[in-house]
Amino acid sequence: MNKRSAIIGVGSFLPEKIITNHDLSQLVDTTHDWIVSRTGIHQRHVAGDHEKTSDLALAACKKALKSSGRGVDDLDFIICATTTPDQIFPSTSTRLQGLLGMSKGFAFDIQAVCGGFIYALAVANNFITTGQAQRGIVVGAETMSRLLDWNDRSTAILFGDGAGAVVLEARDGAGSLADFGILKTFLHSDGQLNDILQMTEGPGSGTCFGTMIMKGQDVFRHAVEKLGGAIEEMLSDTGLTADDIDWFVPHQANERIIDALVKRFDFPSHKVIKTVSLHANTSAASIPLALDAAVMDGRIKKGDLVLLDALGAGLTWGSALVRWG
Ligand code: UT7
């Protein structure tokens, strides 16, 4: 008998305010057509002045809990993947713990930027499969708009805000790929590539903030190569083929990156979940936002085999294979 972490609930939240490409073209020297042709992005949601990362995360967690049929008292942990915490400390997860009224268990943040949700899922899976916890929430929540230089057209067009959460619960499995829940995860990072996407400063280097800078073409090239490598790794380790995957849910950064992966592995386009046109890149929130969209509209169903794949600054990247339900 093997322990598995089943995903028993999912929920997400997007702030009401939308900034379209046309709106952006009033701020910087860009056009709707350029943004769509290079990224596939049409619009992004942006947090209002009153909205913090924890507000977005709280709304997503409440929806995920509701869909799971479990209550706050059933939870053993909250792991929040975020690069945009409300404060440097305490963690956004402990803030969430307080806001949810959860009086037991533990909570901490994970910072792996756009790779954060896969990292958090892998860590949560370890707590559950080793028997240290029965049930918990993994939430990816970001207010990336707060990190942007809105005068920099090379980055301002790419990001958006949002949150998505899943509830995980221990379940017995046979140890085979027919089990429900998280079947396998792989994590990677390469610190030699810190400088291709980074904030220029932070609290440990003198200034609390800094500016986001990116070597866009380098990130693009590494994303295609490393995300492809992670899919290859998952397929060869499990003995599966791309045909066996019911849904491919990649990190939503750039539609051209997703399309390059789809082409390489010959995923049929109707099996690929894309939300990038409406959400832009919401960093650690992008995968759970896409999952929730596809569960809500009835595409992802109980028993489906779902492949998740993400890459972020660091670089960090990884994949997860999940049998839904
Ligand atoms: O989770 C990871 C997060 N980051 C990413 O995924 C980013 C990965 N990289 C990319 O998505 C792409 O590199 C970008 C979308 C950022 C840029 O697309 P690109 O096709 O690599 O364009 P480029 O940087 O090579 O720029 C081409 C041209 C340049 O003009 P010149 O030098 O050819 O005259 C840029 O100055 O496009 C210009 N440009 C723009 N033009 C209109 C750059 N940004 C813009 C813009 N609007 N927003």
- Quick one: what percent of the chain has pLDDT higher than 70? 100
Residues 241, 192 share a domain: yes
Q: Do 169 and 186 share a structural domain?
A: no
Distance 38 CA to ligand 1 centre (A): 7
Which range of residues forms the domain containing residue 112? 2-173
In terms of domains, do 145 and 26 share one?
A: yes
* Whether residue 21 lies in the annotated active site: no
Does the beta carbon of 280 lie inside 6 Å of ligand 1? no
Nearest one of 195, 182, 272, 270 to 227, comparing CA atoms: 272
Backbone phi and psi for residue 23, each to the nearest 5 degrees, phi listed first: -60, -45
Q: For residue 22, what pLDDT band results from cuts at 50, 70 and 90?
A: very high
Residues 233 and 291 in one domain: yes
DSSP H/E element including 218: helix 216-238
Q: Number of C-alpha atoms within 13 angstroms, CB side, residue 27? A: 16
The fraction of the chain above a pLDDT of 90, given in percent, is 97
Residues 30 and 168 in one domain: yes
- pLDDT tens figures, 142-151: 999 999 999 9
Whether residues 144 and 218 fall in one domain: no
Closest of 295, 286, 300, 296 to residue 257, by C-alpha? 286
Q: Whose CA is nearest to atom 1 of ligand 1?
A: 312
Question: Residue 288 is encoded by which pair of tokens?
Answer: 């759970």
Give residue 208's pLDDT band: very low, low, confident or very high (50, 70, 90): confident
pTM of the entire structure? Answer: 0.97
* Tokens found for residue 305: 């085999």
What local confidence, expressed as pLDDT, does residue 49 receive?
96
Give distance in angstroms: CA of 269 to centre of ligand 1: 25
18 and 148 both lie in a single domain: yes
Distance CA 174, CA 323 (A): 13
Judge if 118 and 212 occupy the same domain. no
E-only strand ranges, the chain? 2-13, 18-20, 43-45, 77-81, 106-110, 135-143, 161-173, 181-189, 197-199, 212-214, 247-250, 305-312, 316-323
210 and 150 part of one domain: no
Asked whether 154 lines ligand 1 (CB < 6 A), one says yes
Question: How many helical (H) and strand (E) elements, i.e. helices and strands, does the chain have?
Answer: 10, 13
Number of domains forming the structure of the chain? 2
272: which DSSP letter?
A: B
Two structure tokens written together for 249: 């849910």
Give the whole-angstrom CA distance, residue 165 versus residue 152.
Answer: 30
Show the tokens assigned to 32: 């709707």
Whether 73 contacts 160, CB under 8 Å: no
Task: Write the CB contacts of 211 (distance below 8 Å, at least 6 apart in sequence).
Answer: 149, 152, 199, 200, 201
Which of residues 114, 149, 173 is at a domain's end? Answer: 173
**Which pLDDT tens digit goes with each residue over 235-245?**
999 999 999 99
How far apart are the C-alpha atoms of 182 and 320, rounded to whole Å? 7
Q: What is the pLDDT of residue 16?
A: 98
Report, as an integer, the average pLDDT of 134-154: 96
Residue 215 in tokens: 């070597």
Same domain, 60 and 136: yes
Helix, strand or coil for residue 144? helix
Q: Please state the rounded mean pLDDT for residues 17-42.
A: 97
Q: What is the pLDDT of residues 103-131, one digit of tens each?
A: 999 999 999 999 999 999 999 999 999 99
* Mean pLDDT calculated for residue range 50-76: 98
Peptide bond just before 315 cis, omega within 30 deg:
yes
Residue 4 confidence class, pLDDT cut points 50, 70, 90:
very high
Spatial separation of the C-alpha atoms in residues 220 and 159, rounded to whole Å: 15
With 90 as the cut, is the pLDDT of residue 287 above it?
yes
Last residue of a domain, one of 173, 193, 219: 173
Establish whether residue 215 lines the binding site of ligand 1, counting it when its CB lies within 6 angstroms of any ligand atom: no
* Position 209 confidence tier, pLDDT thresholds 50, 70, 90: confident
- Confirm whether 251 is a catalytic residue: yes
| Phi, psi (deg, nearest 5) at residue 73 | -70, -15
Same-domain status, 112 and 245: no
Q: Where residue 115 sits, what CATH number does that domain have?
A: 3.40.47.10
Instruction: Give the dihedral of Cα atoms 41, 47, 49, 53; nearest 10 deg.
Output: -140
| C-beta of residue 284 within 8 angstroms of C-beta of residue 114 | yes
Average pLDDT over the chain, rounded to whole? 97
Average of pLDDT values for 87-115? Answer: 97
User: pLDDT at position 187, please?
Assistant: 98
Out of 173, 193, 220, a domain closes at 173
Residues 209 and 70 in one domain: no
